[in-house]
């Protein structure tokens, strides 16, 4: 056993046998093949798991990709397949150069993905779930590339954690391997057939209480009644008799609106909630936080117990900056320089990580730059004004305090640093890209470094308080096209303004 495979085996004891090249010999089955890439699944790695199976799959590229840890030409992914709900979650990735493992990592943000019908993910899903179910193997013959007459045709969908590096090969043809596994179709809902109503009895009962028997409503003025010969055929009932659709409708209305009234039960008087219980937010289980819907900002405090501060905190961010006291604030000493970077779409923001050694000094502390994120629109308001975007530079000190510098962005001329970042936007979420380009964060800062400052919180869950905010007063410009590009990725990723609750805001004179 190779040393690299031993490391993988030790790290995946929960998925015994999943490591390629261990005691279980790999059985790679082709799913799609072309001149630019090949996608396969290792049948020998399929192992039972709660509700489904785990399995390794891989994409083999036609060229090596540069990486800080070494070049690689294949990406392996360990997926957890839920065979009942038709969903899968990628748990680990491994990068190989030939048979040599370059590096391996656990997926930091694991989320369940729906298996789309007709996608490559479905082919991988079918193989894994059929192996666990003990069904016959699928054909493994691989179609040759180039037989498709439509130039540049791409598969309907690709393996969610392997798509990015293959996506720049658009224009090259690929042909899926034949997949004869049946696709589960949704069961048609069964019609509830009600017993036929005795019209004469219904009319007699209605007359006894002074009501008119139910009848079809008169046709609106100007509408010609449809001849009986053109009406829909009668509907069969379980008793063997037939009735027209109109009679069926009247019968359903009769059952829906007649019969003895239900007895109303008096609800027991609820015990009054204590003051502490009334302040506890209701927890919405299994809903990830987001910027809209049930997981939106108004519900953040209910999603998890450790998110409660989002609802109960008194020093939350962002705020509408106004009524600041003008004082001689200490200048922020920025220690920025040219650096390489990594960029990732986290699903909530475009996040850019930088090299070590960058940071700032203020208020007697040094804060190391961790990363920067972009928001649209800017979360901070100034005297009620909203800016088109903002860049938030997140720093942390040795004692664990967080300091955020905000650069407000407004539409104007193109910004070169922003363009460099947009040029390297990842094609898929949660896939980090490490381009060869370098950036200089000094050009992101305005010439005038005057700022507002206040104490607040993180603007995303868990909304931790005690964060030092410094908002530079002079905005920088970005092109309208640059704002539009970001809008294609995020319609909006800004938390609404929070109550200031009498907090002190200071600003440079």
Enumerate the active-site residues: 348
Q: Where are the alpha helices (DSSP H) in 212-337?
A: 245-257, 275-279, 300-303, 309-312
**Measured distance CA(79)–CA(166) in Å, rounded:** 19
227 burial (CB, 10 Å; 0-12 / 13-18 / 19+) is: exposed
- Residue 162 in tokens: 């392997």
Helix (H, G, I), strand (E, B) or coil at 374: strand
Q: What is the DSSP string of 95-126?
A: EEETTEEEEEEE-SS---EE--TTSHHHHHHH
Helix (H, G, I), strand (E, B) or coil at 49: strand
Cβ atoms of residues 46 and 54 within 8 Å: yes
Measured CA angle at 125 (ends 121, 126), to 5 deg: 120
Peptide bond before residue 474 is cis, with ω within 30 degrees of 0: no
Helix (H, G, I), strand (E, B) or coil at 306: helix
CA within 13 Å, CB half, 266: 2
Place of tokens 């600041």: 324
Measured CA angle at 115 (ends 485, 434), to 5 deg: 40
β-strands 365-375, 389-397 pairing: antiparallel
Place of tokens 């409503």: 217
Indicate the DSSP class of residue 288.
-
Distance of CA 87 to CAs 128, 458, 507, Å?
12, 32, 51
């Amino acid at each position: 056993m190779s040393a690299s495979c031993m490391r993988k085996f030790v790290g995946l004891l929960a998925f015994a046998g999943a490591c390629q090249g261990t005691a279980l010999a790999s059985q790679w089955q082709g799913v799609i093949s072309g001149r630019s890439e090949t996608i396969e699944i290792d049948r020998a790695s399929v192992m039972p798991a709660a509700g489904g199976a785990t399995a390794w799959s891989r994409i083999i590229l036609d060229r090596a990709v540069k990486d800080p840890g070494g070049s690689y030409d294949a990406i392996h992914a360990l997926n957890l397949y839920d065979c009942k709900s038709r969903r899968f979650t990628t748990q680990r990735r491994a990068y190989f150069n030939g048979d040599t493992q370059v590096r391996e990592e656990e997926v930091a943000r694991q989320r369940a993905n729906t298996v789309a019908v007709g996608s490559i993910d479905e082919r991988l899903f079918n193989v894994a779930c059929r192996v666990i179910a003990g069904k016959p193997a699928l054909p493994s013959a691989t179609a040759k590339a180039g037989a498709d007459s439509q130039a540049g045709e791409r598969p309907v969908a690709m393996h969610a954690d392997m798509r990015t590096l293959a996506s720049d090969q658009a224009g090259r043809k690929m042909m899926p391997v034949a997949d004869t596994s049946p696709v589960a179709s949704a069961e048609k809902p069964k019609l509830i057939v009600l017993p036929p109503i005795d019209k004469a009895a219904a009319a007699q009962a209605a007359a006894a209480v002074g009501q008119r028997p139910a009848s079809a409503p008169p046709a609106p003025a100007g509408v010609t009644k449809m001849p009986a010969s053109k009406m829909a055929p009668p509907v069969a009932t379980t008793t063997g008799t037939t009735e027209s659709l109109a009679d069926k409708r009247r019968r359903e209305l009769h059952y829906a609106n007649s019969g003895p009234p239900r007895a109303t039960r008096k609800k027991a008087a609820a015990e009054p909630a204590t003051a502490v219980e009334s302040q506890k937010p209701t927890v919405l289980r299994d809903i990830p936080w987001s910027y809209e819907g049930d997981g939106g900002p108004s519900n953040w405090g209910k999603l998890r117990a450790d998110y409660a501060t989002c609802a109960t905190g008194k020093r939350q961010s962002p705020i509408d900056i106004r009524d600041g006291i003008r004082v001689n604030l200490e200048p922020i000493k920025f220690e920025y320089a040219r650096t390489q970077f990594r960029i990732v779409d986290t699903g909530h923001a475009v996040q850019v990580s930088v090299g070590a050694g960058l940071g700032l000094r203020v208020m007697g502390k040094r804060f190391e730059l961790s990363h920067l994120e972009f928001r649209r629109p800017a979360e901070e308001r100034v005297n009620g004004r909203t800016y088109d975007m903002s860049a938030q530079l997140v720093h942390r000190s040795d004692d664990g305090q967080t300091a955020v510098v905000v650069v407000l962005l407004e539409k104007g001329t193109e910004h070169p640093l922003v363009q460099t970042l947009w040029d390297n936007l990842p094609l898929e979420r949660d896939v980090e890209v490490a381009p060869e380009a370098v950036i200089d964060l000094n050009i992101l800062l305005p010439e005038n470094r005057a700022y507002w400052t206040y104490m607040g919180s993180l603007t995303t869950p868990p909304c931790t308080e005690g964060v030092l905010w410094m908002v530079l007063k002079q905005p920088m410009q970005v092109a309208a096209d640059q704002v539009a590009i970001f809008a294609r990725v995020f319609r909006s990723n800004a938390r609404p303004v929070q109550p200031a609750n009498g907090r002190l805001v200071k600003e440079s004179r």
